[in-house]
A and B are shown apart, each in its own frame.
Chain A
Amino acid sequence: MAHPDLKLPPPFDELLRLHEHEIMRLCLRLTADRQDALDLFQDIWLRAYRAYPRLSAAPNARAWLFTIATNRDRNRRRDRMRRDRIFAPEPIGDHRAAAANDPAALATHLRRSIERLPDHQRRAFVMRKLGGLNYEEIGTALDCSPAAARAHVFVALKKIKAGWPS
């Protein structure tokens, strides 16, 4: 019997199939190498599976997924920072290489710039510019208004540009 309140989100595997491509693209952008991207990707989806019972049928699965993704990315970098206190840290992005427009150096520099952003700006920026979410979705994910989400992205973008080698 149909019941108006009996709503379930799609099966997890369908969510996986629908979004794995964009999540992987994001992972490759946020990490330095393929191995890290694989680890992050797996981490995101395992965490998503565990939290899936708490996702209601509401159509905000994508925003929810990107929230998990940016969380896991932050935790990953936090762990790496702890490790780096013991081992030698990775060198800060190479300004000259970035200025020389080498794609790999540009990617590294962009990643470093994103990592230096405050948390909410980083999330908003990653969701909008790397994930392609709209401001409505970002507002849902960050629990703020779409206008505030837009402001976060703009400030983040200005900061990144300001720190870019000319």
Chain B
Amino acid sequence: MNDADLDRWLEKILNRTAPAAGEIARTLETAHARLGRRLDAVRREPAAVGIIASPLGDLLAVVSDRGLAMLKYAAMPDGKSLAQLLAKARESFDLYLDDVRIGPVRAELERFFAGDLASLSYPVDLRLAGEGFQRAVLRLLRKVSPGATISYQALGAWAGAPKASRAVGNAMHTNPIAIYAPCHRVIQSNGGLGGYAGGLPIKRKLLRLEGFRLDGGNKLMGAVLGHRGTGIFCRPDCRAARRTDRTQQLLFCDGYHARRAGLRACKICQPAEAANG
């Protein structure tokens, strides 16, 4: 018996045993109600997705009902493709393409890159940000304003884990919301730039945009030291500053930004002049 004969033989059996169209329709009707209830119980929240063009390259933006849930460089230097980023977002959200929904974020970013550093006020949704510690770190990081930086170690200490600088680094690397959760403002204690998931050139660009000067290598220059505990900022060589707890330090690009962050000038080293000069 050859191929065609076999097919014909089976075809006859299949025809004789096929479920009737009416039966399929009736069973589907019953199935709909049951499946609908079960699906509603496990449904992911909807979220809009779109691409935002920026001077740093294309950004993938995901906006949920709670806020901006993802902002990632579409061309990641670590080889993560856009498809992988989308797959990650889709684990938590039912995505739909919608340029209007991400419009406010796009507008804020446009103003930000034009120099209005205080423009990023859209709420964020940290659901893609891993577990407790990572989320806590990102939440604190959001308080580090433009023109300021914090060290991995100091950020860990702020979150209650002064020895967890490595974990802070990981949290920065997996940060789902670049720029809004400003992981580019986290640097090494010695002023070195550290790393950046979007690539160091982008970290440099962002810090320059926010007022920092960088020397030829990867170090921040001419900055002012702020102290979270005392609310005072000093020149880096101030004798009072040298005695302070390093894990409470913030590094500002100048006295102006330190003052804007609510700090006052040290009376010993008088850094306001240092910043102006």
| Interface residues of A, Cβ cutoff 8 Å to B | 1-3, 5-6, 8, 11-12, 20-21, 24-25, 27-29, 34, 37-38, 41-42, 45-46, 49-50, 52-54, 56-57, 101, 103, 106-107, 110, 129-130, 154, 157-158, 160-161
Name B38's contact: one of A42, A129, A160 (CB within 8 Å): A42
B28, A20: Cβ atoms under 8 Å?
yes
A152 to chain B, nearest CB (A): 13
Are B35 and A46 in contact (CB-based, < 8 A)?
yes
Whole-angstrom distance between the Cβ of B69 and the nearest chain A Cβ:
14
Name the A residues within 8 Å of B31 (CB-CB). 20, 24, 38, 41-42
Chain A neighbourhood of B81, CB < 8 A: 5
28 contacts between A and B (CB under 8 A): A1-B50, A3-B58, A5-B81, A5-B82, A5-B83, A6-B49, A6-B50, A8-B97, A11-B94, A12-B94, A20-B31, A21-B28, A28-B24, A29-B19, A38-B27, A41-B27, A42-B31, A42-B35, A46-B35, A52-B90, A53-B87, A53-B91, A57-B83, A106-B13, A107-B17, A129-B14, A154-B6, A157-B10
Main secondary structure of the interface of B (DSSP, over half): helix
Residues of A within 8 A of B7 (CB): 157
**Chain A residues with Cβ under 8 A from B9's Cβ?**
161
CB pair B35 A157 closer than 8 Å = no
* Nearest CB on B from A41, distance (A): 5
Q: Other CB < 8 Å A-B pairs besides A24-B28, A29-B18, A42-B31, 14 of them?
A: A1-B52, A1-B53, A3-B82, A5-B82, A28-B23, A29-B19, A38-B31, A41-B31, A41-B35, A42-B35, A46-B39, A157-B6, A157-B7, A161-B10
The residues in B between 19 and 56 inclusive whose CB is less than 8 angstroms from any CB of A are 19, 23-24, 27-28, 30-31, 34-35, 38-39, 42-43, 49-53
- Chain A residue numbers with a CB within 8 Å of B253 are none
Task: State whether the Cβ of B96 lies closer than 8 Å to any Cβ in chain A.
Answer: yes
Residue of B nearest to A104 (CB): B17
Q: Which residues of A contact B50 (CB under 8 A)?
A: 1, 6
Q: Does B86 make an interface contact (CB < 8 A)? A: yes
The answer, yes or no, to whether B95 is at the interface (CB within 8 Å) is yes
Report Cα–Cα, A42/B34, bound state, in Å.
8
The listed residue with most A CB atoms (<10 A of its CB), out of B27, B49, B81, is B27
Residues of B within 8 A of A21 (CB): 24, 28
**Residues of A close to B215: CB separation below 8 A:** none
- Chain A residue contacts of B16, Cβ below 8 A: 101, 103, 106
Taking the closest CB of chain A, its distance from the CB of B103, in whole angstroms, is 11
Nearest CB of chain B from residue A35's CB, rounded to whole Å: 10
Assuming the contacts A28-B23, A161-B6, asked whether A6 and B51 have C-beta atoms less than 8 A apart, the reply is: yes
Min CB gap A108→B, angstroms? 9
A28 and B39 form a contact (CB under 8 A): no
CB nearest to B16 among chain A residues: A103
CA A3 to CA B14, docked complex, whole Å: 46
* Closest residue on chain A to residue B86 by CB atoms: A8
B99 touches A (CB below 8 Å): yes
Contact between A38 and B34 (Cβ–Cβ < 8 Å)?
Answer: yes
Other-chain contact of B19, A1, A28, A46, A129 (Cβ < 8 Å):
A28
Query: Nearest chain-B residue to A25 (Cβ)?
Result: B24
Q: B82 — nearest CB in chain A belongs to which residue?
A: A5
Asked if B3 lies at the interface with its beta carbon under 8 angstroms from chain A, I say yes
Residues of B within 8 A of A8 (CB): 49, 86, 95-97
Q: Within 8 Å of chain A (Cβ to Cβ): is B178?
A: no
- Our pick among B13, B19, B38, B95 for the contact of A110 (Cβ within 8 Å) is B13
List the A side residues contacting B1 at CB < 8 Å.
161
Question: Given contacts A6-B97, A38-B30, A46-B42, is CB(A56)–CB(B6) below 8 Å?
Answer: no
Give A114 Cβ to nearest chain B Cβ, in Å.
11
Kindly list the 3 A-B residue pairs having the minimum CB-CB distance in the complex, ordered from nearest: A53-B90, A107-B17, A28-B19
In the complex, which residue of chain B has the Cβ closest to the Cβ of A1? Answer: B51
Residues B6 and A158 in contact, CB atoms below 8 Å apart = yes
B10 partner residues in chain A, CB cutoff 8 A: 129, 157, 160-161
Task: Indicate if the CB atoms of B27 and A37 lie closer than 8 Å.
Answer: yes
